[in-house]
Structure 1
Amino acid sequence: MKAFGRWLAIVLCALLALQAFFVARIALAVWWDPQSTTFQRSEMWRIWHQSAQHRPWQQQWVDYAQISPHLKRAVLTSEDDGFMDHDGVQWDAIERAWERNQKALERAQTRPNAKPVVIYGGSTITQQLAKNLLLSGERSFLRKGQELLLAHTLELFLSKQRILEIYLNNVEWGQGIFGAEAAARFYFRKSAAQLTAPEAARLAVMLPRPRYYEQNPNSRYLHARTSTILRRMGGTALP
């Protein structure tokens, strides 16, 4: 029992130390601009070891004011239209995503030759930032719980504007392409500040599957969803 107690104490201390590390990283982000995320580093390691195309890491931090308002509105409209109102997590969105996934899986079981099941997320931009900035890409209940805790911590320490600024500077927009500035220059040969509304809407729609849409720029869904976001984004409030 004593050995078990010592082992348990070590595990608890390690968990507390990890949480303290996460909180310190988030507190530091109040004024420090993160130049890379856990996801970016793991993705570039994957590309280096598994891909024949060793594209250079493309990323350039730009301040919030140097990102087109069109892109901010488009991303919020497409990814998290309740961003200004929630505290990091939208429980109703998570519930809806779970229900849609269950129905999709049930349909897939009855139709063996059907298309692959599309998995819906329901994560807010704050949750996405928590996951990409600090966590691994594995899918588990434990990691999801940590993501929810970190999302609330981000909202506690950072303003909505700062959260969106860090997100837009680090989110993936293609293989080795991270952040709004790199995406704008790669796809449109211009700065993030110069993006038009249609260009911004197209980039926003790419976000759930950036590598796929980079390879499939003529996707019907990409065009249709871009038109939808373009019509809706004008009424989206910005932090």
Structure 2
Amino acid sequence: MSKLHEHTPLTHSEASAPEHIAIIMDGNGRWAKQRGLPRIAGHRAGAESVRRTVEACKNLGVKFLTLYAFSSENWNRPESEVKALMQLLERFLKEKTKEMMKQNVRLNAIGRTDMLPAKTRKQLELAIETTQNNTALTLNLALSYGGREEIVDATRAIAEKVKNGELDINTIDNDTVTNHLYTAGQPDPCLLIRTSGELRLSNFLLWQLSYAEIVILDKFWPDFSESDLTAAVAHFSGRQRRFGAL
């Protein structure tokens, strides 16, 4: 795990970018508080960082980008904030779908999205359908998402197949679980980036991040820039990934 600070030189790496990057976008509320603004202002600024990051990842050649947008625990926030976040998501999807088409970005959602408000879910489904044939980058939005819940859902699906005689319990292995996760068919993230300096996974992609390299940034998500992404990729490229071997 590396912690990049504000003064860390932001150099470009000539090495190839990770195939899949995951990001815990942390610090919107604290960014707003520092400026005497309401929390929703931080979330709006964070949405602009999403736009910049998606474009930068596509330009770097990243094929999959997974953003932790709304956790299962976030439903416990004040009702007014949750409502504002859902409205912001709807507006983001409505405004950015055209841009995703222009950038050849495919949108996908992971999580218990059936819990989203009907209007939000409808806008999400429309954006997913509209962009489904794009090929440059797959953008996974983790919405109403929890890593433990994902593993529970996968376990239930596997158990149902065993019960129905579709799957032999003795053949269950790592691949079986992987193929029943929300991210089935996608490579695991090679690199996890977390903003705001916090050193925890926060129930995010617990299975998929088993061997990911981790970079922590001491800045809030609205301040995350293309140069920060480039620096994180450079650090990733300089590491030797042994996966437990010598």
**Structure having the larger proportion of residues in helix:** 1
Q: Do Structure 1 and Structure 2 share a fold, with TM-score over 0.5? A: no
TM-score norm. by structure 2 comes to 0.26
Query: Which is higher, the Rg of structure 1 or of structure 2?
Result: 1
